[in-house]
């Protein structure tokens, strides 16, 4: 790691607010790259060159200051990082008066550099993960071998484990424009990121997609209920910030192995989220296995669906009859319960079912026709 002006300048700004001495930070070439005296920036400090050469502290008394061009009375200590000297920190003043201060400053500078390095590493790793995930979920291209190699060598993902993908859609995050509200969106994402990571294991990883969906990849043990784990997680973050997570949808794909399995789980979670919006407006959580035949119908090409619907006259059914039919299915074809739910007499229900038969040419009392009616209702809802 090299100490640069971008790293050194904020350090000088912070430290000079707490001391009355002139302080300089020099790079590994002896150039002053940050100073409490701006006039000295970009000048050579020969004392720093000596520190770099000898790898030892340099104390300069008043009578010796002329020995080193650009140096003044004071103490200069090497800045160390990972067992290498990458620069020098110096404070001007009587050596016996500034020695303790410059030692503390050296420690502070090294700690701040270490923090900056860790932040850089974290940012680099997050960028690598983001690029990998974006390639993984690209609907048009998929290079499994490349993604597997990258994941194992750089991201340390263990494909001996089985993972499931969870998608979170948080309305507060989605409401912010990625361009116009960039700063506010990033701040909110940082907050959400910290909240979620509190409840994830070390093997889990997550990212934010361009469209504002949070993608979380978690290891699911075979003996654990995926839905129960997700519900526990959702309840935990709700307790942390009920206002932020109140309008949140969580959809999960199946538990699979390998890169292809994670990709498959993502598209399953994606389908589950889409279906939740069409069929379950008030429910917060869904799993791909919840959808049964709906999942299958959703995969039928739109042209085939339209062709099937056009064979019948379901679009001619008045809203009242559509609602009656839907309630009949919700009540598992129990006529008494259906009439009670609709707050109508059984004779009225019988009349409505006859009206449906006349319009649709399908008898709700026939098992075969009833199945077709169910399929038609589902296809109509899928077409929303």
Write out pLDDT tens, residues 294-341: 999 998 898 888 888 888 878 888 899 999 999 999 898 899 999 999
> Domain-by-domain residue ranges, the chain?
5-119, 137-297, 300-382
At 253, is the pLDDT very low, low, confident or very high (cuts 50, 70, 90)?
very high
Q: What is the pLDDT of residue 347?
A: 92
Q: Are strands 23-26 and 32-35 parallel, antiparallel or unpaired?
A: antiparallel
Are residues 62 and 72 in contact, defined by beta-carbon separation less than 8 angstroms? no
Do domains 137-297 and 300-382 share one topology? The answer is: no
Across 68-72, 220-224, 332-336, the highest mean pLDDT is recorded for 332-336
Q: What is the pLDDT of residue 270?
A: 94
Cα separation values, 273 from 24, 178, 266, Å: 56, 21, 11
Instruction: Determine the CATH number of domain 300-382.
Output: 1.10.10.2840
Are residues 88 and 100 in contact, defined by beta-carbon separation less than 8 angstroms? no
Are residues 249 and 277 in contact, defined by beta-carbon separation less than 8 angstroms? yes
pLDDT at 28 over 70: yes
Fold of 137-297: Alpha-Beta Plaits (3.30.70)
At 16, is the pLDDT very low, low, confident or very high (cuts 50, 70, 90)?
confident
Across 66-80, 158-172, 334-348, the highest mean pLDDT is recorded for 334-348
pLDDT at 70 over 90: no
Compute the distance between CA of residue 13 and CA of residue 34 in angstroms, rounded to an integer: 9
Largest Cα span, the chain: 113
Beta bridge partners of 250: 168, 285
- What's the whole-number mean pLDDT along residues 259-286? 89
Compute the distance between CA of residue 220 and CA of residue 204 in angstroms, rounded to an integer: 10
Nearest to 217, CA basis, from 237, 232, 197, 235: 197
Q: For domain 5-119, which CATH number applies: 3.30.70.270, 3.90.1170.50, 3.30.450.40, 1.10.10.10?
A: 3.30.450.40
Compute the distance between CA of residue 65 and CA of residue 88 in angstroms, rounded to an integer: 17
Compute the distance between CA of residue 154 and CA of residue 135 in angstroms, rounded to an integer: 15
pLDDT exceeding 70 applies to what percent of the chain? 98
Close Cβ partners of 214 (under 8 Å, ≥ 6 residues apart): 167, 168, 169, 170, 173, 192, 196, 206, 207, 208
pLDDT exceeding 90 applies to what percent of the chain? 22
- What's the whole-number mean pLDDT along residues 204-213? 86
- What's the whole-number mean pLDDT along residues 5-25? 82
Is the pTM higher than 0.85?
no
For 29-38, 276-285, 296-305, which range has the lowest pLDDT when averaged over its residues? 276-285
At 351, is the pLDDT very low, low, confident or very high (cuts 50, 70, 90)?
very high
Compute the distance between CA of residue 169 and CA of residue 71 in angstroms, rounded to an integer: 59
Q: What is the pLDDT of residue 283?
A: 79
Q: What is the pLDDT of residue 204?
A: 84
Question: Would residue 156 be called left, alpha or beta, if left means φ above 0 and alpha means ψ between -120 and 50 degrees?
Answer: left
pLDDT at 264 over 90: yes
Compute the distance between CA of residue 259 and CA of residue 136 in angstroms, rounded to an integer: 8
């Amino acid at each position: 790691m090299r100490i640069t002006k971008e790293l050194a300048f904020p350090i000088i700004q912070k430290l000079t607010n707490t001391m009355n001495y002139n302080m300089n930070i020099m790079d590994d070439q002896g150039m002053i790259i940050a100073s409490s005296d701006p006039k000295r920036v970009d000048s050579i400090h020969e004392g720093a060159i000596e520190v770099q050469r000898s790898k030892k502290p340099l104390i300069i008394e008043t009578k010796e200051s002329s020995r080193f061009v650009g140096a003044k009375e004071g103490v200069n200590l090497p800045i160390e990082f990972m067992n290498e000297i990458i620069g020098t920190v110096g404070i001007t003043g009587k050596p016996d008066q500034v020695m303790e201060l410059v030692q503390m400053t050296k420690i502070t500078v090294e700690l701040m550099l270490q923090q900056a390095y860790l932040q850089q590493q974290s940012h680099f790793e997050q960028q690598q993960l983001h690029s990998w995930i974006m390639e993984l979920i690209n609907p048009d291209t998929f290079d499994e071998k490349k993604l597997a190699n990258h994941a194992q060598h750089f991201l340390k993902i263990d494909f001996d484990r089985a993972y499931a993908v969870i998608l979170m859609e948080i309305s507060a995050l989605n409401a912010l424009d990625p361009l116009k509200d960039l700063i506010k969106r990033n701040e909110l994402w940082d907050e959400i990121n910290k909240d979620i990571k509190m409840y994830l294991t070390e093997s889990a990883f997550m990212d934010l997609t361009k469209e504002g969906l949070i993608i979380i990849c978690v290891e699911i043990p075979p003996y654990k209920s995926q839905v129960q784990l997700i519900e526990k997680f959702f309840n935990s973050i709700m307790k942390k910030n009920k206002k932020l997570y109140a309008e949140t949808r969580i959809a999960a794909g199946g538990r699979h192995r390998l890169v292809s399995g994670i990709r498959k789980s993502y598209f399953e979670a994606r389908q589950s989220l889409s279906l939740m919006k069409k069929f379950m407006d008030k429910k917060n959580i869904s799993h791909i296995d919840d959808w049964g035949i709906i999942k299958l119908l959703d995969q039928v090409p739109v042209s085939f669906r339209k062709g099937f619907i056009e064979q019948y006259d379901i679009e001619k059914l008045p809203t009242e009859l559509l609602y009656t039919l839907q309630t009949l299915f919700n009540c598992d074809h129990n006529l008494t319960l259906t009439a009670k739910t609709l707050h109508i007499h059984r004779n009225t229900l019988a009349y409505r079912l006859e009206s449906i038969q006349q319009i649709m040419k399908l008898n709700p009392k026939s098992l075969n026709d009833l199945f077709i009616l169910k399929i038609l209702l589902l296809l109509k809802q899928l077409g929303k």
